Amino acid sequence: MENFLNINIFRTFISGTPLMKVFRKTLLLLVILTVVFQFVQPTKNKSEGISSDDISKVYAMDEELHGMLVTKCYDCHSNNTKYPWYFNVQPIGWWLAAHVHDGKEHLNFSAFGSYSAEKAEHKLEELKEVMEDHSMPLKSYVLFHPETEVTDADIDRVSAWLRSIGAIDE
């Protein structure tokens, strides 16, 4: 009986009612658009090496601290993003590219040297705040990149560094 129902449903879908014809045409249009979208790739956020304006060139920091920032922050907040394979699947790639663009507008570690002294100081204060309240990295990012989750040790390390360069008083 179950096979019979499945065959009837299939026949209805193939020959179908006017509603099914609309559904099929809509589905076909969506498939065609999805295929066409794959040919429209967003520009990748890639630069060669570390720029002279990189925060690590502006402020003294040890390699471990810089490595932590690269791992946890640079994909969205620098000029050198490491892209996952699914970046090449549209519209996911467009969404990721928009996130990176937005992240760089808020803070770009690769362009830190170009910031005014006031802006740089403010960005350093914000860095500590977003780490302490765990609003960065975004939860959606950490879900796919668990190594980017900020730990208490990371917060302590950044806070100590910020105190050492005179960016915070605490």
What is the average per-residue pLDDT within 108-112? Answer: 96
pLDDT at 145 over 80: yes
pLDDT given at position 49: 79
Over range 162-168, report the average pLDDT.
90
Least confident of 14-18, 27-31, 118-122, 143-147: 14-18
Dihedral of the CA atoms 128, 129, 135, 138 (nearest 10)? -30
**For position 15, what pLDDT does the model report?**
60
Output 34 or 70, whichever has higher pLDDT: 70
Q: What percent of the chain has pLDDT over 90?
A: 61
Would the pLDDT of 11 be above 80?
no
Alpha helices in the chain (DSSP H): 2-15, 18-37, 55-58, 63-72, 74-77, 92-106, 117-132, 139-144, 152-164
Whether residue 54 has pLDDT greater than 90:
yes
Cis peptide before 137 (omega within 30 of 0): yes
Domain extent listing, the chain: 2-37, 55-164
pLDDT band at 64 (very low <50, low <70, confident <90, very high): very high
**155: Cβ–Cβ under 8 A, 6 or more apart, which residues?**
128, 131, 132
The angle formed by the CA atoms of residues 64, 66 and 68, to the nearest 5 degrees, is 70
Instruction: Tell me the CA distances in angstroms from 15 to 7, 26, 27, one per residue in order.
Output: 12, 16, 15
Question: Residue-wise over 6-42: b if at least 16 C-beta within 10 A, else e?
Answer: eeeeeeeeeeeeeeeeeeeeeeeeeeeeeeeeeeeeb
